[in-house]
Each structure stands twice: as structure tokens, then as C-alpha cells.
Amino acid sequence: MKLLTRYSLINVLVMVVIFFVSSLTLYFFIKIILLREIDGDLGGIEDKIKEYVNEYHTLPRLYALDEEQINFYPAGKSIPAKEFGTVMLYSNREKKLHNFRKMAFPLKFNDSWYRVTVAKPLEGMRHLSHTLLTISVLTILITILIAIVINRFLLKRLWKPFYQSLDVMRNFKLGKTGTPIFPKTTINEFAFMNESLLMATEKAEHDYLLLREFTENASHEIQTPLSIIRSKLDMIIQEEDLSQKQSELARSAFTAVKKLTRLNQSLLLLAKIENHQFEATQVINLKSKIEEKLDQFTELWESQHINAAWELEEVTVFINPELLDILLNNLLSNASNHNIPYGHIFIKLEGTKLVISNTGYAGALDQKRLFSRFYKQSLNSNHNGLGLSIVKQIARVSLIDINYLFANGLHSFVLNW
């Protein structure tokens, strides 16, 4: 959810709550004010009745057409209390029951007390309160709507530099786009953000160039002495006057150097992949590429008495050719190295999925650590534990989803793109 959308939703929610509370408050205030107004009218009728009795010494005559309902009840010698209330009475004009505001007050006439009740219909007040409430609610709704529209356009304009900076960062690529250019803004917070992003990208670009230079030079600087050592050890091993012990020591050293060379090459390859140094991509016929690899591995599988079977459909992928070659090599080597004598390898290519399965000694592998660097199924393994880590990195930069499955004694790697 976008920031502006989330802010708008929160803003609308707050306004709806304020609107609801305001409407209820307004309704009760209007009701109280109108009731006080009617109570004042009833008090005025009380004054007029008392004035009429004092002037004419008789009770006023009542008319059926009068809106108010006035009744006189003898109370004897006791003085009735004055009180207000709301009651349901029959309206002669409307011919149905209505809410009335009723006032009772004492009246002395001919040395006797009367309890006088005056009732006034609230129907007019109800219509008036509903009209006032409707007008007020519409006013509040229109105000909220205008505020939302204004805030949306205003906030969108205020946040425009922020989204422009996001677009700049989204299009930024190390070693390719150069120094990013952020939009100018007069808002201090966005200006500070742009300055911080610029410093971060410049440092990342600098560190990337240093690392790239290291990976380019390290291969030559490390591989050259290792090659010399291997060459010298090979020459020593071929000497005829070596004792058996010296020959074994030389071979052990030669094996260690070969292992160190492979480890160095794997680490450099990982660094290059992580630094996106394999950017050139092209459309490749995956079926033809796998068939090429099968020709290369067939002799090895025959020597290990491994039975290989495959089903390949015509599939093309958009990938760096060098990375694809390394990916297939590592997966097929993994299936060969961790297999059993007279084991099986199954390869299936269809649609957007490639599955490579093999038999093996152990049960399911640890999926949490499987693609980690230097993970080994056995501590005594002669492999450096980087093969699947390289596969995972290639899959990541090539936008390939890779998963491991274990079922029916088969270890399977499933690639989807």
C-alpha cells in the first residue's frame, strides 16, 4: 500500500469518527436548545393564563383548534408542584398520537388550587431538528470531501520529490549508471534524504569499483603462484630418484594445491556473480545446452556405473551463457559426486521447469543450510562446499527460482524461470 493511500485512509477514518461524534453532539445540542425554547413558550402560556384569571376572574375558554392542549384539574387545598416532561398524547389536528412537551403548574382560583397542564406538540421541533441536522451533516460531509480532495492533490504534490528520488534509486545500478541525479527540492527533509542517498550511492559505487578491481587482479595474482607451485610439484613427482615417502608427500602437497586452486576459483566466481560482472545475456536453447553437457558427462557416469535418463523438450531461456554453463556443470557434478555405485540420475526439461534428480547415500539434506557456503553433507568430503552456493547465486541474478526436494530416495533440484 502506498504511503499516500495509507495516509488518505487514516485521514478518512479520523474524519468519519469526528463526523459521527460531531453529528451526535450537534443533534443533542439542537434537541436541548429546541426543548428549552418550547419550555420558554410553555412558560409564556402560563403567564398569559395567570394574567387572564387575574383580569377576568374566570378560567380561559379552550378551543378545539388550538395547537396547545390545556387542562385544569382541581387540586383542593394542596399546592401542585411545577414540572416538565415529554409524553405521548393524541393530536386533534393530526388525528394520531404524537410526542408533546408537557408542563404542569399550580393556579389559585376562587380560593382553590388547580393543577394546570399545558402540552405543546413536538412534531414541529422534530422536523426543525431533522432539517438543521441534515443541513449540518451535509455541510460537514462537503467539508470533509473538499478537505480530502485538497489534501490528496496537495500531498501528492508535496511528496512528488520523494517518489522522484525513489525512481532514481530504482534505476541506479552499480558500475553502470554513474552518479545518480536527485531532484531539487525546497523541503528540508527531502533535501536531507537526497543528500544521504547520494553519499550512500557514491560510497557503494566506490566500494564496488575497489572490489571489482580486487576480483579482477586477485585471479592473476593468486593463480600465478599456485600454477607455479603445481608445476614444480608435478616436476618433483616425476623425478625417478624420489623415495616412496617423498613421492607421497609431494602428491599430498599437489592435491592440496589443486584443492586450494579450485577453492580460489570458486570464491572469485562467487564475488564476480555477486558484483554483477556477468551482465551480457542472450536467448539460449536450453535443450541443446543440456545435450552438450550430457555428452561431456556420459563417460564419467559410465565409469561410475551410474544410469542416466532424460526427457528434454525444446525450451529457450534468456541468460548469460557463461553462467548457464557453470550452473549446469555444478548441478550435474553434484548429482554425480553425491551418487552411489549403480545409482541413477534423472533429468526432465519441460515448459519453464528443469528437474535434476539423483540417488544418494543419505536422507534429506538440511534445506536451511543447503545453499550456504562451505556446507558439506559429510565432514570427510573432498569437495569445498561451494558448488550449490554458486548455483544459488547464479539462480538469484538470473531470476530463476530453485528449490530442493527429497522423495522416494531421490534428491531433486527444481528450477523454475
Burial class (CB in 10 A: 0-12, 13-18, 19+), 98: middle
Predicted confidence (pLDDT) per residue in 46-58, tens digit: 888 888 888 888 8
Which grid coordinates belong to 110?
A: 376562587
Which secondary structure element, helix H or strand E, spans residue 355, and what is its range?
strand 353-359
What letters, b where the CB count within 10 A reaches 16 and e where it falls short, cover 39-61?
Answer: eeebeebbeebeeebeeeeebee
Q: Which segment, 149-158, 211-220, 328-337, is predicted with the most confidence on average?
A: 328-337
What mean pLDDT do residues 388-400 have? 88
Predicted confidence (pLDDT) per residue in 202-254, tens digit: 888 888 778 777 766 766 677 778 778 878 777 887 777 777 887 788 888 87
Q: Residue 1 pLDDT more than 90?
A: no
Which grid coordinates belong to 45?
A: 402560556
| pTM for this entry | 0.50
Beta carbons within 10 angstroms of residue 210's beta carbon: 10
Beta carbons within 10 angstroms of residue 161's beta carbon: 20
Q: Which residues pair with 374 in a beta bridge?
A: none
pLDDT reported for residue 328: 93
Q: Using CA atoms, how far apart are residues 4 and 415, in angstroms rounded to an integer?
A: 38
Residues with Cβ within 8 Å of 340's Cβ and at least 6 positions away in sequence, in order, are 359, 360, 361
Q: Residue 382 pLDDT more than 60?
A: no
Q: Using CA atoms, how far apart are residues 185 and 158, in angstroms rounded to an integer?
A: 10
Q: Residue 407 pLDDT more than 70?
A: yes
Predicted confidence (pLDDT) per residue in 249-275, tens digit: 888 887 777 777 777 777 777 777 776
Percentage of residues of the chain with pLDDT beyond 70 = 90
Check if the beta carbon of residue 114 is closer than 8 Å to that of residue 72. yes
Return the amino acid letter for 101.
Answer: R
Strand pairing of 410-416 and 401-407?
antiparallel
What mean pLDDT do residues 313-326 have? 91
User: Domains in the chain, start-ordered, CATH in brackets?
Assistant: 3-139 (3.30.450), 189-275 (1.10.287), 282-416 (3.30.565.10)
